[in-house]
């Protein structure tokens, strides 16, 4: 597959990813609450969606023909907010209100109060059903917009995910792309060693293929691979696509990577300083 985005765009997306990680950490630190590990693993996918792939216009967030995005793993809302702010949906300074009682930026996305959020999510397993409904509605109304949905590998243990997968295949929703944030680590679940957890979504590719989906596996931190996968999905007719994005929980900060303890831990002042320094050095 040939490279479909130029190196200037690749550099921009990488820079956005770095800035997004810093915003995630600073915002969670400021709020004294929030998730870190899962949002950090989802960064490159969301940056690629909002800065390269999706047909959107922050000045017209409810445009009928816009592409839609559903963050099914709604507890990772801070990565979505950090990207939306950079994309111009609201001022970056508003991130400082995250998780406050009257804020538009709640711990889980709320479509009723924040422009740019296409579906309220939080109850794991339910977001993909909403995305299937949106995509099916688009088909029935002869609309050309595409629907994207990010799911977690942990939430893929929910039966509703597979009911939605079955329906999407039945109705040949080739206007639907699901991305699994496959960081292979959940906070709670199957017991492993003291520092590890068993993979919550084993044989992911084979499972989705069995449900009739087009399956693409990528390095979920490689913006070129991610964007090529999105372009490939547009060429698929008669079936939905899932992109298995192989990621690292806590990506970008060495002492957070692959550690379930950072699922929802707030960095202290010293940890924040060290993390920001490491992210900036990695740019």
SS3 244: strand
Dihedral sign of CA atoms 236, 168, 63, 243 in order: negative
Domain that holds residue 13: 7-281
- Contact (Cβ atoms closer than 8 angstroms) between residue 2 and residue 232: no
**φ/ψ bin of 41: left (φ > 0), alpha (ψ from -120 to 50), beta (otherwise):** alpha
Q: pLDDT tens across 198-226, in order? A: 677 778 999 999 999 999 999 999 999 99
The per-residue pLDDT of the chain, averaged, comes to 92
Helix axes 7-31, 77-87, angle to 10 degrees: 120
Burial class (CB in 10 A: 0-12, 13-18, 19+), 249: buried
Integer Rg of the chain from CA: 18
What's this model's pTM, rounded to 2 decimal places? 0.94
Total number of domains constituting the chain: 1
Does 2 fall in a domain?
no
Does 1 fall in a domain?
no
- Supply the CATH number for residue 111's domain: 3.40.50.970
Q: pLDDT tens across 10-42, in order? A: 999 999 999 999 999 999 999 998 989 999 999
């Amino acid at each position: 597959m040939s490279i479909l985005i130029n190196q200037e765009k690749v550099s921009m997306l990488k820079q956005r990813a770095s800035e997004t990680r810093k915003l995630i950490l600073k915002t969670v630190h400021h709020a004294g609450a929030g998730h870190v590990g899962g949002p950090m693993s989802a960064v490159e996918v969301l940056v690629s969606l909002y800065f390269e792939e999706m047909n959107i216009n922050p000045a017209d967030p409810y445009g009928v023909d816009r592409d839609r995005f559903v963050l099914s793993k709604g507890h990772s809302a801070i990565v979505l907010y950090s990207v939306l702010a950079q994309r111009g949906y609201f001022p970056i300074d508003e991130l400082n209100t995250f998780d406050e009682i009257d804020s538009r930026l709640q711990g889980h996305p709320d479509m009723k109060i924040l422009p740019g959020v296409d579906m309220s999510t939080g109850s794991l397993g339910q977001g993909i059903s909403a995305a299937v409904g949106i995509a099916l509605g688009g088909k029935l109304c002869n609309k050309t917009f595409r629907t994207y949905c990010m799911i977690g590998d942990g939430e893929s243990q929910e039966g509703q995910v597979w009911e939605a997968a079955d329906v999407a295949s039945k109705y040949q929703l080739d206007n639907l792309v699901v991305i699994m944030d496959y960081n292979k680590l959940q906070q709670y679940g199957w017991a492993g060693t003291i520092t590890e957890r068993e993979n919550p979504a084993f044989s992911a590719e084979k499972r989705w293929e069995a449900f009739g989906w087009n399956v693409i596996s990528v390095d979920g931190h490689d913006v070129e691979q991610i964007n090529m996968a999105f372009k490939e999905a547009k060429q698929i007719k008669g079936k939905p696509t899932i992109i298995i994005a192989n990621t690292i929980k806590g990506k970008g900060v060495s002492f957070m990577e692959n550690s379930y303890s950072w699922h929802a831990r707030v960095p202290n002042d010293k940890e924040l300083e060290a993390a920001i320094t490491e992210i900036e050095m990695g740019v």
